[in-house]
Structure 1
Amino acid sequence: MMIPAKLVAGGLVLAGVISFLPTVGVAGVSWLRSLYGFEIDNPDLEILLRHRAVLFGILGTLLFAAAIRPGLRDTAALVAGASMASFIAIALVVGGYGPSIRKVVIADIVGLLALAPAALARLGPGRTLG
């Protein structure tokens, strides 16, 4: 099956937006609180969550770059897919999460669906249409 390159690029951009959104958490506790819906009253937790925000910025940037540089697409889709799938799996295993984490789970499901064209293009015999 031939997957149009514009569909692959569009999916990578959508996944990039989803991944990049938490980057605002780098700005501080108030942003983290608005993102995750709970109090961050421990410097250790703040450090971990702000670093997580940086990592999502890196991942989002990789996905944006992959949308315009086909040579990065396989790596970007694999890394982003692993990140999103692992968050969903951890949330399901732990359970009992609140509405803020539910929103992240839903966003990651949408992100995985957005990455599907890149995965299908990689697996398909014809790769992408130019």
Structure 2
Amino acid sequence: MPTEPLTAALLFLVGVINLVPGAVAVAPSRIGAAYGIDVHADPDLVLLLRHRAVLLALVGTGLLGAAFLPSLRVPAMVAGGVSMGTFLLFARTTRALNGATKRVARIDLAALALLLVAAGTVRHG
């Protein structure tokens, strides 16, 4: 069975998962719903989370591009893996996370698993 369509589909899905939080960059009012925290009184935290959203959107865009351009696959998968992997490591070593942040960690864990499956389908020339 050809792996190309599977690889592309997995990268596309993981790209979308990483792109969705990018909405916080342009709609900071969604931070509370996304992360379960009230940041209205802390403009520094709003800034940091909006910047995080932009970085996630960049990773997501790279993964979406890699779904269609095989030459981007390895760097995009490395970037996505590092991004999600470090978040999971930080979440694992942080006490008393709220339910929303735990949900984000579960989503990242699932996306990282999909990314690993995609990596296993990539053929090297």
**TM-score between both structures, scaled by the size of structure 1:** 0.88
**Cα deviation 1:28-68 (Å, max 9, x = unaligned):** 43111111111002111111011111111111110100000
Asked if residue 47 in structure 1 is aligned to residue 47 in structure 2, the reply is: yes
Asked if residue 9 in structure 1 is aligned to residue 8 in structure 2, the reply is: yes
State percent identity of aligned pairs.
36
Aligned pairs for 1:1-130 (under 5 A) are 4-40=3-39, 41-122=41-122, 127=123
Structure 2 residue runs without a partner (length 5+): none
d(CA) in 1 for partners of 2:35, 2:9 = 27
Higher relative contact order (CA 8 A, sep 6+): 1
CA shift, 1:10, in A, is: 1.0
d(CA) in 2 for partners of 1:27, 1:118 = 30
Q: Which amino acid aligns with 1:24?
A: A
Structure 1 residue runs without a partner (length 5+): none
RMSD, matched Cα: 1.6
Q: Classify the secondary structure of the residue corresponding to 2:93.
A: helix
CA shift, 1:119, in A, is: 1.8
Q: Classify the secondary structure of the residue corresponding to 2:97.
A: coil
d(CA) in 2 for partners of 1:50, 1:59 = 14
CA shift, 1:109, in A, is: 0.9
- Range with bigger deviation, 112-121 or 54-63: 112-121
After superposing on structure 2, the runs of 4+ consecutive aligned residues of structure 1 that deviate more than 6 Å are none
Q: Contact 1:33 / 1:39 at 8 angstroms: preserved in 2? A: yes
